[in-house]
Amino acid sequence: MNDDQLRQLAQRLRIDAVRASSAAGSGHPTSSMSAAELMAVLFGRHLRYDFDAPDNPANDHLIFSKGHASPLLYALYRAAGAISDEELLSFRKLHSRLEGHPTPVLPWVDVATGSLGQGLPVGVGVALAGERLDRLPYRVWVLCGDSETAEGSMWEAFQHAAHEGLDNLVAIIDVNRLGQRGPTMDGWDLDAYARRAEAFGWHAITVDGHDVAAIDRAYTEAAATTGRPTAVIARTIKGKGVRSLEDAEGWHGKPVKDEAAALAELGADRIGEVRVHVAAPEPDGKPHVFATGGGELPTYERGDKVATRRAYGDALAALGSIRGDVAALDGEVGNSTFAELFAAAHPERYFEMYIAEQQMVAAAVGMQVRGWVPFASTFAAFMSRAYDFVRMAVVSRASIRLSGSHAGVAIGEDGPSQMGLEDLAMFRALHGSTVLYPSDPNQTAQLVAAMADRSGVSYLRTTRNALPALYGPGERFEIGGSRVLRSSADDQVTIAAAGITLHEALGAADRLAAGGIPARVIDCYSVKPIDARTLADAATATGRVITVEDHWPEGGLGDAVLDALASSGRRPAFTKLAVRILPGSGTPAELLAEAGIDAEAIAGAARLLLQEG
Amino acid sequence: MNDDQLRQLAQRLRIDAVRASSAAGSGHPTSSMSAAELMAVLFGRHLRYDFDAPDNPANDHLIFSKGHASPLLYALYRAAGAISDEELLSFRKLHSRLEGHPTPVLPWVDVATGSLGQGLPVGVGVALAGERLDRLPYRVWVLCGDSETAEGSMWEAFQHAAHEGLDNLVAIIDVNRLGQRGPTMDGWDLDAYARRAEAFGWHAITVDGHDVAAIDRAYTEAAATTGRPTAVIARTIKGKGVRSLEDAEGWHGKPVKDEAAALAELGADRIGEVRVHVAAPEPDGKPHVFATGGGELPTYERGDKVATRRAYGDALAALGSIRGDVAALDGEVGNSTFAELFAAAHPERYFEMYIAEQQMVAAAVGMQVRGWVPFASTFAAFMSRAYDFVRMAVVSRASIRLSGSHAGVAIGEDGPSQMGLEDLAMFRALHGSTVLYPSDPNQTAQLVAAMADRSGVSYLRTTRNALPALYGPGERFEIGGSRVLRSSADDQVTIAAAGITLHEALGAADRLAAGGIPARVIDCYSVKPIDARTLADAATATGRVITVEDHWPEGGLGDAVLDALASSGRRPAFTKLAVRILPGSGTPAELLAEAGIDAEAIAGAARLLLQEG
């Protein structure tokens, strides 16, 4: 396309952004209009993408980090012939693929955006996959808003992209000066943006974002830049093209007042249809395949003292030898989570994400866009740092595997800042999530392998402490299952536990047995989905259920069991043991006792429940 | 203190850091040793702090953002005479005030740290309070690690501090080159740190972190810098003072191997006790008091269509007129959360935090350190961005009030990225938290006022949609209460709901009544603490309970009700209605119907429960 055609295309994109949002009665036309030339030039001259084959590994990737500019994205799809005008006008309607913010229900959308500050970190993940896993020359283009540079996650992305030398990544920053409620911190101070990008090690180019020739030169320069990523920082006007909207406050997220007048001003009659042919990528792009040595998952002898976090590392390293598609990421605690074992075995597929949990999860999301199977780990407590990214991974229909070590008061001396006590609640409360909490190294290893084949967000909670293996090397564990460890026909109470509290539950059962009270003990290693049937049977058989967890009382194992029992129509007498005090430092045994979740406390709760009838 | 004495003090701090961590058998001596001179000079010459009066409003504030250097902090307290040697050696023991990472169980600790990247953003909050609320000349000194600059939240803090011109803030960055598992991204490239700080608008000073004279000059320069914050970027050696530990990997978070040898090398015999007299602040520091005009909370007529988010803004603005200690913060969506009403009424106490939710929550935590009563708001979905900060606010014993608007599928067209569907779970699963979900503007206003007096983390969930007021202006609502809206002696089923689903529940009750089925409807506006008694009575009376919430099924209202019923020993037949599909865009009514949480679905669930017996 020549420059005039690009300008026509840009104007057509504005027209269609206005039409779509007017048809919807909501949406963000003004945020779309500022970036029309930026995207017209990209589609007309630089993007390499086969719309008929969105899974072509050689395709470039375009991520709208400013997801609210969805009318622009959908207008681009229409101009590229990927969607019809009828579909464009279905924007924001029930069951339309054109949701308010982009999601991968559209085959050309890699990830959902709309929570600002996420598209660039995810783009870093795709670019990492391109350079280090796929080893293909595709580019990753990310359209960013200026407002979203207030999010720290953007600077995690700036740091990582530079540190990894991702010259296949281009951030296009649409500096239209206005956020939702008013001016941004830095207005049109393009140099402020450029200084920051450069200070973080990027190549920065400032440009008039409505000058198609200048934009073209900037993209060409970005593509030619080696060894570091490029930020194209564009001065733009929000609402560009309709004078009453241009650089005006109060129009964010609103359709135009007078559609006909706006379309007339944009020259809709004159411009007509504008089609853009997006160049397809080179046809011979084949992703790299990692050679694998095969092998078996680790096994452990019953009674061996092995922390489940250690078993996670062992299993992940073994899985990396069995499967070439597995990658691992860690937040600078690989010697605690034992992700370092994978790093040692498979350095090419290991990604050190430093203390940047948001970027870590975003990178995992980016890698799975390209079909890789990422596992990301840090302390369970610090998974909370990335919760918005995990939440959005669900909307992205992403399959990622996360492992949080150092769960609960059982970590001991480090104190509450390092104790994951809300992680089960956090991960349970996500659509389609899987939450696993093994108590044993053999179990852990098998669950790690199962996670690799699991879709959606999977979370594995591991324990710091080395505890005796409860199961033999031959036992099989599946997601959704459970294990009844103690059982008799006379059981008077059921104790449902997982992870470290399962060990305490067994101790409690011993104490109770010594007092003539047989207790059933269930290992609920699969917290979600939970084995409702086994729990219901136990509730029926014993009439009394105790849950015990090293977690706050809300949203964790206890609530999961209550829900399963209620759904099954079982109504046993019930006691939930959980951490109800704010812990400090101490030994693991002291803190388990103080929180009332050790063997002694469990046995006491069982006796109390029996006394109550 | 002269330079020699400062050097002696630094060495003594190392000695005590080694002793404390050796006594504990764990802890971070090497991370403490790198910053010994940095802190010796601060205590000896620059900090203005009255250890006998930690609540003195004129005190400087010192925050250890690298909280794992707690042995250094506690050694400083000992040197300042605030704690005994015996207490120092209680480090990390059960019930010691000297926890593994600092918490405010010590009166000189403002906030808990230990989740990296939080101390500086909280420091920004304290500094904001100093400049704009207290209007006192105290300084905020934040000791940061180099590793934690990987956290995006640090850069949110850099942006905000510069934007607000916080020249009362000094970040001291201890660049010891080594993180937990190995080298940082930038090693000893002090200029890389300086370039970034300057690009974000800070004054940057690089310094040899073991040269007391140079450190002194840097702090003097920092104190003299006006109009912008200062970063003192110090090249240090991890483990400094014990040759085998110096700049060595593998020693993070471990006590020294041979305590006696380490102490000998540090000159423990030669040095003996070193006391430091920390200068007290000017005695006449009185915090600013904002004049208030008084007034009343807003009221609304029954039937008026008012969104609870609007009532939040109305009430907050009124509360600001009634109380001078209330401040408000918002994440660049004040025109959606209606925090803009407070901004208009009380601009001096309003803080625009742009799209930086972590910094927003951290700033609220910082303000409450100084006794202010902050309310912070954004979309409910984006509270997930700050979950680690909220989690740590609990460990900080902080009292903050958060409001999340745009909850649930009921927001409609914007789609799932903007729908808060996990916020109830997230906030319930925090120790001592309060979770409120009003359905009515009068109720909202009273709960906002009650939050101001509430300790701990309080969360208010508001709804986007304007719905008719259910209560009259005279009704009173308390935290922990509920309201029975429909009730008769013949009720066959109880419907427990809150917020938008309460309106749907009333519609369901109407439908059921038309079919001859009387239903009890309970407004569970206080999700935590929940009114267990009213729920238990209703369960007893009706034998059947349905909960309905615009939230994922896990961790929200349904789980709260199940838990309350189980605790009360009530075992009704139970159905939990919640969002079990991944929603897209659509109208609010369409999406409520599709999720099965509208009046029709509730009525259907009630009929089903009745059929089941």
pTM of the model as a whole: 0.98
Q: How far apart are CA B522 and CA B534, in angstroms?
A: 8
- Report CB contact under 8 Å: B116, A355: yes
State the nearest Cα–Cα gap between A16 and chain B, in angstroms: 18
**Which among A93, A150, A554 has CB closest to B356?**
A150
Mean pLDDT over B284-298 rounds to 94
How far is the C-alpha of A545 from the C-alpha of A561, rounded, in Å?
Answer: 9
pLDDT band at A219 (very low <50, low <70, confident <90, very high): very high
Helix/strand/coil for A531:
coil
A174-188, A270-284, B432-446: lowest mean pLDDT where? A270-284
Find the helix or strand (DSSP H, E) in which A434 lies: strand A434-436
- How confident is the model over B30-43, as pLDDT tens digits? 999 999 999 999 99
- Please list the residues that pair with B143 across neighbouring strands: B64, B172
Contact A259, A18 (CB under 8 A): yes
Q: Which B-chain residues 487-546 have CB contacts (< 8 A) with chain A?
A: 528
Q: Which residues of B touch A414 (CB under 8 A)?
A: 26, 100-101, 114
Eight-state DSSP code of residue A302: T
pLDDT tens readout for residues B117-133: 999 999 999 999 999 99
**The pLDDT of residue B282 is above 90:** no
pLDDT digits (tens, 9 = 90+) for B354-405: 999 999 999 999 999 999 999 999 999 999 999 999 999 999 999 999 999 9
Asked if A569 lies within 8 A of B573 by C-beta distance, the reply is yes
* Contact criterion met (CB < 8 Å) for A391 and B381: yes
Considering only residues 296 to 315 of chain A, which have any Cβ-Cβ distance to chain B shorter than 8 Å?
none
For B152, the closest chain A residue by CA position comes to A152
Residue found by looking up tokens 């004495």 in the block:
B5
Supply the pLDDT for residue B125.
Answer: 98
Q: Which runs of consecutive H residues, i.e. helices, occur in B186-287?
A: 190-199, 212-224, 259-266, 268-271
For A435, which DSSP code?
Answer: E
Q: What is the pLDDT of residues B465-497, one digit of tens each?
A: 999 999 999 899 999 999 999 999 999 999 999
Nearest CA-CA distance, residue A235 and chain B, Å: 19
Query: What is the number of other CB atoms lying within 10 angstroms of the CB of residue A516?
Result: 8
Say which of B195, B385, B576 has its CB closest to residue A563: B576
Taking CB atoms and an 8 Å limit, are A585 and B180 in contact across chains? no
Are B115 and A394 inside 8 Å of each other by CB?
Answer: no
Tens digit of each residue's pLDDT (9 = 90 or more) over B392-434? 999 999 999 999 999 999 999 999 999 999 999 999 999 999 9
Task: Inform me whether the C-beta atom of residue A455 falls under 8 Å from chain B C-beta atoms.
Answer: no
Q: What is the strand order of the sheet A203-208 is part of?
A: A61-64, A140-145, A169-175, A230-235, A203-208
Q: In the predicted model, what is the mean pLDDT of chain B?
A: 97
**What is d(CA A95, CA A109) in angstroms, rounded to the nearest whole number?**
16
Q: How far apart are CA B448 and CA B471, in angstroms?
A: 16
> Whole-angstrom Cα distance, residue A428 to residue B134?
42
The alpha carbon of residue B586 is apart from the nearest alpha carbon of chain A, in Å, by: 4
Test the A interface: residue of B350, B388, B577 with most A CBs within 10 Å: B388
Mean pLDDT calculated for residue range A84-110 = 98
Tell me what pLDDT residue B283 has: 82
Residue B554 to residue A563, Cβ atoms within 8 A: yes
- Exposure string of B299-335, with b = 16+ CB inside 10 Å and e = fewer, is bbeeeeebbbbbbbbbbbbbbbbeebbbbbbbbbbbb
Q: How far apart are CA A434 and CA A453, in angstroms?
A: 12
Residue B92 in contact with partner chain A when CB distance is under 8 A: yes
CB distance B264 to B115 below 8 Å: no
Segment B2-31 shows an average pLDDT of 98
Give the residue on B whose Cα is nearest the Cα of A609.
B569
Question: What per-residue confidence (pLDDT) applies to B612?
Answer: 87
pLDDT at residue A564 tops 90: yes
Option in B67, B93, B185 nearest A417 (CB): B67
A28 Cβ neighbours under 8 A, 6+ residues apart: A21, A68, A69, A70, A71, A252, A253
Q: Answer positive or negative: Cα dihedral of B414, B418, B421, B427.
A: negative
Scan residues 218-277 of A and list those with Cβ closer than 8 Å to B: none
Active-site position among B99, B148, B340, B357: B357
The Cα B415–Cα B166 span in angstroms is: 38
Could you tell me the two tokens for B434? 């309060």
The verdict on a CB contact (< 8 Å) between B422 and A391 is: yes
What mean pLDDT is predicted for residues A560-576? 95
User: Which residue of A94, A101, A384 is in closest CB contact with B586?
Assistant: A94
SS3 content of chain A, % helix, strand, coil (to 5): 40, 15, 40
Q: Does B347 sit behind a cis peptide bond, omega within 30 degrees of 0 on the bond before it? A: no
Tell how strand B434-436 and strand B526-528 pair up. antiparallel
Mean per-residue pLDDT for B537-561? Answer: 98
Nearest CB among B114, B391, B584 relative to A99 is that of: B584
Within 164-223 of A, beta carbons closer than 8 Å to B belong to: 179-181, 184-185, 192, 195-196, 198-201
Tokens at residue A361, please?
A: 């999860």
pLDDT at A408 over 80: yes
CA B35 – CA A182 distance, rounded (Å)? 42
pLDDT for B13 equals: 98
Helices A387-395/A357-369 angle, 10° precision: 20
pLDDT of residue B285: 87
**For residue B200, what is the nearest residue in chain A, using CA coordinates?**
A196
The partner residue sitting opposite A563, judged by closest CB among B196, B559, B569, is B559
Are B422 and A115 inside 8 Å of each other by CB?
no
Most B CBs within 10 Å, among A122, A361, A559, to test the B interface = A559
Which residues of chain A neighbour B94 with C-beta distances below 8 Å?
Answer: 584-587, 590-591, 594
**Cβ–Cβ below 8 Å for B426 and A426:** yes
Return the ∠ at Cα B498 (arms to B496 and B502), rounded to 5°.
75
For chain B positions 579-598, those within 8 Å of chain A (CB to CB) are 579-582, 584-587, 590-591, 594
Closest B-chain CA to A527: B554
Instruction: Residue A586: list chain B partners with CB under 8 A.
Output: 92-95
- Strand runs (DSSP E) across A20-120, as ranges? 61-64
Chain A residue with CA closest to B575: the answer is A567
Which tens digit of pLDDT belongs to each residue from A503-530?
A: 999 999 999 999 999 999 999 999 999 9
Q: Do B388 and A391 touch (CB under 8 A)?
A: no
Q: Is the pLDDT of residue A284 over 90?
A: no
| Residue whose tokens read 């902090």 | B73
Q: Taking CB atoms and an 8 Å cutoff, what residues of chain A touch B332?
A: 147, 150, 179-181
Of B99 and B284, the structure prediction assigns the larger pLDDT to: B99
Closest CA to A515 of A599, A417, A423: A599
> In sequence order, what DSSP letters do the residues of A353-392 get, joined into one string?
--S-HHHHHHHHHHHHHTT-EEEEEEEGGGGGGGHHHHHH
Q: Which helix (H) or strand (E) holds A70?
A: helix A70-79
Q: Which of B150, B192, B567 sits opposite A156 (nearest CB)?
A: B150
The token pair that represents B295 in the structure block: 């007034």
Q: How far is B199 from chain A (nearest CA, A)?
A: 5
Structure token digits, residue B286:
């009185």
Q: Does residue B252 have a pLDDT over 80?
A: yes
ipTM of the complex: 0.98
Cβ neighbours of B552 in A, within 8 Å = 429-431
Please report how the helices A308-322 and A441-452 are oriented relative to each other, as an axis angle in degrees rounded to 10. 40
CA distances from A500 to A408, A603, B191 (A): 9, 16, 46
Neighbour-count burial for A158-178, b at 16+ CB within 10 Å, e otherwise: bbbbbbbebbbbbbbbbbbbb
Task: Tell me whether B406 touches chain A (CB under 8 Å).
Answer: no
C-alpha of B595 from chain center = 32
Which tens digit of pLDDT belongs to each residue from A13-51? Answer: 999 999 999 999 999 999 999 999 999 999 999 999 999
Best of B431, B434, B567, B568 to substitute, by most chain A Cβ atoms within 10 angstroms, is B431
What was the pLDDT predicted at B255?
A: 96
Q: What are the backbone dihedrals phi and psi of residue B504, each rounded to the nearest 5 degrees, phi first?
A: -65, -35
Strand partners, A169: A140
Helix, strand, or coil (residue A419): coil
Give the residue among A416, A441, A449, A444 at the shortest CA–CA distance from A551: A416
Chain A residues with CB-CB distance to B574 below 8 A = 566
Tell whether A322 lies on the interface with B, counting CB pairs under 8 A.
no
Give the integer Cα–Cα distance in Å for B376 and A7. Answer: 43
Mutate to test the interface with B, among A63, A74, A87, A151 (most CBs of B within 10 A): A151
Cβ distance B409 to B550 under 8 Å? yes
Contact A593, A601 (CB under 8 A): yes
**Stretch A536-552: mean pLDDT:** 98
As annotated, the active-site residues of A are 357
Is the CB of A404 inside 8 Å of chain B's CB atoms?
Answer: no
Percent of chain B with pLDDT over 90: 99
Residue B71's pLDDT band (cuts 50, 70, 90): very high
pLDDT in tens, A158-171: 999 999 999 999 99
Q: For testing the chain B interface, which of A414, A455, A608 should be mutated: the one with the most B CBs within 10 Å?
A: A414
Count Cβ neighbours within 10 Å for each residue of B355-369 and write b for 16 or more, e otherwise: bbbbbbbbbbbbbbb
Instruction: Determine the distance in angstroms separating the CA of B258 from the nearest CA of chain A, rounded to an integer.
Output: 21
Note whether A422 contacts B415, CB cutoff 8 Å. Answer: no
User: Could you tell me which residues are beta bridge partners of residue A405?
Assistant: A379
